[in-house]
Amino acid sequence: MRSVCVAFALALVAAAAGAQSFPCNRSGAKPAPGMSILAAPDGVELTWPGERGEELRARFALRMKGGVGQPVIAELAARKAGGAWIELGKELTPDFEVTTGRRRISTTELDILKKNHNDTPEAENEYKWNVFWDAPLEIPGTEDNHLVGPGRTADEVKRASVSYAASTCRVESDGDRVSVIFNGLTLGIFAGDLQFTVYKGANLLRQEARAKTDAQNVAFLYKAGLKGFPIQPAAKLEWRDDAQVWQKYEFGGDVNAQPVDLQARNRLEILDAGAGALAIFPPPHKFFFARENEVNLGYVYYRKDGERSFSLGVMQPEHGRGYAPWGQTDAVWNRRVHVARSQIYNYALYNAPPGTVQRMAVYYYLSPESARATQEDVLAYTHDDAYKPVPGFKTLTGHFHLDFNEMIRDRGTSDFMPTWVPVFRGLGINIVYLADFHDDSDYGDPGPKRFYEQKLYFEGARKMSDRDFLVMPAEEVNSFLGGHWYLMLPRPVYFSHAVPRPADQSFEEDDPTYGHVYHLGSIEDVENFVNREQGIIWTAHPRTKSSAMYPDLYKDEDFFLSDRFIGASWESLPVDLSEARLCEVRCFGVNDDMSNWAPKPKFMLAEGDTYMKVPSDETYPLLAINYLKLDKVPAHNESWSPIVDGIRAGNFFGTTGEILFHKWGIEGAGANSVYTATIEYTFPLEFAELVWSDGTKVDRKIIRLTDTGPFGTKSFRIPFDATGKKWVRFDVWDSAGDGAWLQPAVPKQ
């Protein structure tokens, strides 16, 4: 009897310890009207309004488990206005996993540094963070991924799950958002805080590990979610597959040892809780690092942890995958197989420079509606993963290596529908400029073979075009100037660029089959050609890939200083989750430098630089595009000068799609200047910035926008002193890391 009493007493002590009071520090929080922060004995409870008057609730607690503090979501709930609360989850543990590898510079960048006698430790350290050709988790690695030095070893790769030793909980407010923060997070080599954030007027809950490492050369990827969901008869997981067919899983299978990644459409899975739903998805764009294709690798997961519980979350798989090879003939098929296979070795992960706070995020969407209705509500944040039409603009994107003329030759006809056409049209793209003659065709041929292939290229582009859809047969030329560069012309033109040009060829001639043709053989020929044909050129993927050290190395050349050289391409590479802007250092850094070097500002044209596409791909999250001021899309048989001239004039903005400009401009002059802009947006905004330079020093003004809810419009009037300023530009970023940016302009003095 005495032993029973002792056991009972010990149980009471253990229960008391588990229920130990851990009130959150709320002294730094001032919630916006309509939001509430309520103290709970073991944490804090947040309630806030949703998008259509719903009320959402999240209760956070700190439990003692094994003698250490364990943060939990004690409850997630939603209700319609005036309705009863619907429980979406309770006693859920925030879950993270991380896989780390060693970041290396690739042979592509290193060879360029060596060629230009700049292979110093400092330069190598700088360029390794811009690397594209890296796959830190491929052991041992191959020459296909441009590996520097000996092969990778298994001990370079580390995997870890999160652990907590939280001792504090605090609540902070910032405009129309409230965050709950727990200390004591450890995630392998990373350490920091766990943070949850809710937004007034949005059904969103953001969970993130905010952690840093002091280790060197770290590349990583992560998984993030919640574990502890109970397996109940009413609970089921729903998603749309690659074919956009609805699927479900009711946790009736065996227990999983690892997360099961779902190739879910729109990167979205939804827990149907019976009367309500909880959606899980990653940040729309910042979650993704650049690859050569958009094959859906599976970015959300479930894991049946036992017979009574399961986990849900987002993930980046540890390995990439190439596109499905194609080809009618063996020669084409085998070459496409090699290209597709080599794309596995292009999987660079995220950067984690020492001391930077990486934000590893996942979003939850709380809803009192059904799973199908919840899916529609979530997709409203990305306009259903498409680029919304804006009056007075046409959408434009390019730099896609689709090997179109090779496909035509292989099939023997241009009368077919390539798989990439419905991809672009489904995204809402009006103008696509292609990039044949890269790893395909006879791009170095001095004439007859190449001209025949160009003829098929032009013919196929005409046939794929439509009344509001234009395919432009452009090219990444890569000869003479240095690095990789792009060429766009206002009409189809036959030209060759053999290196070296045959001695018996002149710059131009009249060909009996193809008419007037050009043979480029030097920088001077390129300048002459572009001026005669009124085209434009720009640096492809500046300061990375085969353009490492470019445009820097030709910044004083006449062709760069010309206004026919419009700038460089923008692509979200690299991805560093500590940065407030996508491609913060490389893309916007080179844009600012170019505008300082040249007589007039240079621009950044958003591009893809990817390969074959099929409708089942997840193209939207890996893409940013341009909105060009244009009343109509030129027909295939009309001049494309309105497109070329509009880009040359900087009459466009780049965007991931969630933020859209409607108009912008500069009023006044000198000390009385005002920058104006009007936008629409989906996610709650984070900040806008006005950036300027006197030709040497770049400075900026940050406008905090944390008092914005979702799905709004906003007008800006930003006074600034234009005196002595060579150029000024403007960009806006939202709370999910999505953005839109205008081109630099010259203010009146």
In the chain, which residues fall in CATH 3.20.20.140? 387-657
One DSSP character per residue, 575-618 reads -BTT-SSTTTTHHHHHHHHHHHHSSS--EEEE---B----TTS-
| Tokens, residue 405 | 């003329």
Mutual angle of helices 404-411 and 448-464, in 10-degree steps: 90
Instruction: Tell me what the mean pLDDT of segment 639-668 comes to.
Output: 98
Q: Considering the entire predicted model, what is its pTM?
A: 0.96
107-115 and 121-128 are packed helices; what angle lies between their axes, rounded to 10 degrees? 140
511-532 per-position pLDDT tens digit: 999 999 999 999 999 999 999 9
Residue 272: both structure tokens together: 């149907």
C-alpha radius of gyration, the chain, whole number: 27
| Cα 534 from Cα 563, distance rounded (Å) | 11
For residue range 4-53, what is the model confidence (pLDDT) as tens digits?
343 333 333 333 344 456 779 999 899 999 999 999 888 999 999 999 99
What average pLDDT score do residues 81-89 get? 95
DSSP 419: T
Instruction: Detail the DSSP E strand segments found in 672-711.
Output: 673-681, 685-693, 698-704
The order of strands in the sheet holding 470-472 is 470-472, 431-434, 393-400, 625-629, 652-655, 739-742, 727-734, 685-693, 698-704
Tens of pLDDT along 101-151? Answer: 999 999 999 999 999 999 999 999 999 999 999 999 999 987 777 899 899
pLDDT at 16: 39
- CATH 2.70.98 maps onto the chain at 2-80+91-99+159-381
What's the CATH number of domain 658-749, 1.20.1260.10, 2.60.40.1220, 2.60.40.1200, 2.60.120.10?
Answer: 2.60.40.1200
Tokens 């104006």 correspond to: 676
Q: Please name the fold of domain 2-80+91-99+159-381.
A: Beta-galactosidase; Chain A, domain 5 (2.70.98)
Looking at the predicted structure, is the pLDDT value of residue 481 above 50?
yes
Q: Find the DSSP H helices in 343-501.
A: 371-379, 404-411, 420-427, 448-464
Output the DSSP codes for 377-404: HHHGGGTTTS----TTEEEEEEEE---H
Residue 144: per-residue pLDDT: 72
- Average pLDDT in the chain: 95
Number of H helices, E strands in the chain: 12, 40
Indicate the Cα dihedral angle 525, 527, 533, 536, nearest 10°: 140
What value does the mean pLDDT take over residues 181-207?
A: 98
Q: Residue 235: what pLDDT?
A: 87
The superfamily CATH assigns to domain 387-657 is: Metal-dependent hydrolases (3.20.20.140)
Ranges for all domains in the chain classified under CATH 2.60.40.1200: 658-749
- 639's CB contacts (< 8 A; 6+ apart) are 490, 491
Q: Which amino acid is at 613?
A: K
| Rounded Cα distance, 688 and 704, in Å | 7
